[in-house]
Chain A
Amino acid sequence: MNAAQLGFWAILLAGAVRLATPITLAALGETLVERCGIVNLGVEGMMALGAFMGVWGASQQSWAVGLILGGAAGGFLGLLMGLAVLKGGVNQIVAGIAITLLGIGLADYFFQIWQPSGRSAVVVPLVPILRLPFLDRLPLIGEALFAQSPLSYLAVVAVVAASWALRRTTPGLRLRSVGDDPEAAQLRGVDVVWVRIATLVLGGALAGFGGATITVGYLGSFSDDVTSGRGYVAIAVVIIGRWSPIGAMLGALLFAVFDSLALLAQSSSVGLPVEFFSSLPYAMTLLALVLTARAQHAPRALGRAFDG
């Protein structure tokens, strides 16, 4: 590998880690939600609203406020979905579609009030990059692993922590029991409805926070369809990662590598059309979905309604 090639791969990987962060966070939330037996199809809407709240909060106060508001907005949508599904008895898929519409609609609505079209977009300061001395100068992986936004490090820590908590802690066990056999869990004194609503709030908050990391983490501004399907990709990588947080993170990285490639292809002239590269991340996600479809280990009560 010569220096130019090495540089290309270094940029590609650094971009991939950055682009994987929001999807990892949202997919982590969705993993937890699905492990307790709920399919949350509202991730896209939660991310969209989180992305908007992130920029708005960052422009009013600071990026930290933006991130908190983004998480809160996602958590609120999660609560709404939880109440609709578990108290109102609404079908999970239908509730998810409604939440997606609500999240995307609210984000666009507030954005248009805040910045009527025609005005130049408000650009907010990004979360500063955290460089680890010396390590960031490692060839190939230095930029990717040791010169990232703190949000990326946070996402990895959250994934590892959740992975441990799911397996080794009582709340983790409760959550899994609710997703595998809610009736038995209820008999043993676990409040299934409460666990599921609380998990949906947490999952929503992670999706909203993930959305905010798109805008406050690396874009700096909001536009309609800024999430462009990343919420759906997050749901897909949960399946690809076989309902494990670390698996979901790896799935998010797969999407992000091709997303990063697409970004690079936009700025350099290659033989193939730009649209080909823009399709690649989605095509690869679909391919991974197909390849992992065989041996599935879905939570046993996933998607099934519970009336206690």
Chain B
Amino acid sequence: MRQLHRAARERIWLSLALVLLAATVVLLIVVAGANPLLAMKGLLEGAFGDRYAIAETVVQSVPIAIVALGVAPALRAGVFPVGSEGQLAIGAVTATATVFALKGVPAAVALPAGCIAGILGGTAWAFLPALLRARLNVNEILSTLLMNYLAANLVLWLVRTVLGTAEAIATPRSDRLPIEAIIPKLVEGTRLHWGAFAVLLGAAALAYWIRSARGLGFDVFATHRDLAARMGVRDGTAVIGTMLVAGAAAGLAGWIQVAGLQGTLYPSVAGGLGFTGVLVALLGGLRPFGIVIASFVMAILTTGSNGLQTDTGVPSSIAVVAQGLVLLGAALVFAARQRKAREAVADFEAKPAEEIR
């Protein structure tokens, strides 16, 4: 009986917290001098208003989903790399450089070459933090975060010098990629391209990994090192392997952004996608289906908030605030559910054996 009360009280607190988080967004919109209902309409129109907007929302979700699917195995194994931002930028650079070096080759060569170069670039940038974590126990959260700043500077320098366009412009960028290296469009008249299929492949790969025996061993590694070792998962393999996979996925996303969406390398190519990717992996519960849905929600926030800004003047950075609040709310719900599961187990174990039978 007492427990029932506690459960009810917890539910009330949780609902209250979620209402408060939602109210914060409404309040912020009011502070900006806009009508929250009109703002909601602006957001939805920005994300789904016409064919172009829908395609734009889908295409924005692609790199986020790829990064998230790649980080998921690491997070499942209790490793926490936050370096996707830098790895994505490096992947974009290596892909661009490769494509320019191979000028004049047909698309059948330029596309796979760019793709592989992007993956290798991202993987390479993940290598040092992975090795440091596995061999010297250097905190991977901080090392990957610091590597992001090194990547940003490296990319800026390369785009300003060797990879930079010869045109006289104020903001540094590369030349446009040759047409052979551009990923073909999936829907004419929009920016949606064939790279979107990488999300499906990634989701399938993650689904397979979760169900495999090896994947289970890596899951166990997160909480029970010794048991995982007996299942054949060694420290070094788990840490280095998952961190390199995360880097590879981010690098792939880098190639997709340059060759699929922008067609030109800008220093700002990562633009927060790496962080959003890690966030989406968490929101999606580290499962393929959840991640794809969560990446779509984040993309709605991004494209929708741009529509919101043009419609009502509410700054588009409301999207970042909303991301934080959504993550906080989802984490609260997740924690409450986990607590309930734990209590159920405790109840079960407290019962005498006959009753269970």
Contacts and interface: CB of A to CB of B under 8 A. Distances in A.
Interface of A: 41, 45, 80, 84, 87-91, 93-95, 97-106, 108-109, 112-113, 228-229, 232-233, 235-236, 239, 273, 275-276, 278-279, 282-283, 285-286, 289-290, 293-294, 296
Given A235-B142, A290-B132, 7 more contacts: A101-B327, A273-B157, A273-B160, A276-B153, A286-B150, A289-B139, A290-B138
Contacts of B148: 229
14 contacts: A87-B13, A88-B17, A88-B331, A98-B328, A99-B324, A101-B327, A105-B317, A105-B322, A106-B321, A275-B153, A279-B150, A286-B150, A289-B138, A293-B139
Contacts of A289: 138-139, 142-143, 146
Interface string B266-303: 00000000010011001000000000000000000000
A84 B146 contact: no
A285 B146 contact: yes
Contact of B324 (A88, A93, A100, A296): A100
Contacts of B32: 109, 113
B113 interface: no
Interface in B302-346: 315, 317-325, 327-328, 331-332, 334-336, 338-339
B218 interface: no
A282 B138 contact: no
B149 interface: yes
Interface in B37-58: none
Contact of A109 (B141, B317, B338): B317
B28 interface: yes
B170 to A, nearest CB: 16
Contacts of B147: 286
Interface residues of B, number: 50
A84 B332 contact: yes
B26 to A, nearest CB: 14
A105 B316 CA distance: 10
Nearest to A108: B317
Contacts of B319: 105
Interface in B72-118: 80
A105 B318 contact: yes
Nearest to A107: B317
Interface in B115-160: 132, 136-139, 141-143, 145-150, 153-154, 156-157, 160
Contact of B321 (A80, A95, A101, A275): A101
Please classify the interface of chain B as helix (H, G, I), strand (E, B), loop, or mixed, using the class held by over half of its residues: helix
Contacts of A84: 328, 331-332
Contacts of B31: 113
B161 interface: yes
Nearest to B149: A282
B146 A102 contact: no
Given A97-B279, A101-B321, A293 B138 contact: yes
Which of A100, A101, A282, A290 has the most C-beta atoms of chain B within 10 angstroms of its own C-beta? A101
A101 B325 CA distance: 8
Nearest to B82: A97
Closest 4 CB pairs of A and B: A105-B320, A101-B324, A102-B324, A105-B321
B327 A97 contact: yes
Given A97-B279, A101-B324, A91 B150 contact: no
Contacts of B325: 98, 102
Contact of A91 (B136, B138, B139, B335): B335
A217 to B, nearest CB: 22
B324 A229 contact: no
B279 A101 contact: yes
A239 B146 CA distance: 14
Which of B132, B142, B157 has the most C-beta atoms of chain A within 10 angstroms of its own C-beta? B142
Contacts of B323: 101, 105
Contacts of B336: 88-89
B146 A98 contact: no
B352 to A, nearest CB: 26
Given A101-B320, A236-B146, A282-B150, A276 B138 contact: no
Contacts of A94: 282, 327, 331
B216 to A, nearest CB: 21
A84 B17 CA distance: 9
A283 B129 CA distance: 12
Nearest to B31: A113
Given A232-B146, A276-B157, A279-B154, A98 B136 contact: no
Contacts of A100: 324
Contacts of A109: 28, 32, 315, 317-318, 320-321
Contacts of B143: 286, 289-290
Nearest to A101: B324
A98 B334 CA distance: 14
A285 B146 CA distance: 8
A294 B137 CA distance: 7
Nearest to B335: A89
B328 A293 contact: no
Contacts of B321: 101-102, 105-106, 109
A99 B31 CA distance: 21
Contacts of A282: 146, 149-150
Contacts of B282: 94, 97
A151 B325 CA distance: 33
Nearest to B326: A98
A100 B324 CA distance: 8
A93 B335 CA distance: 13
B297 to A, nearest CB: 14
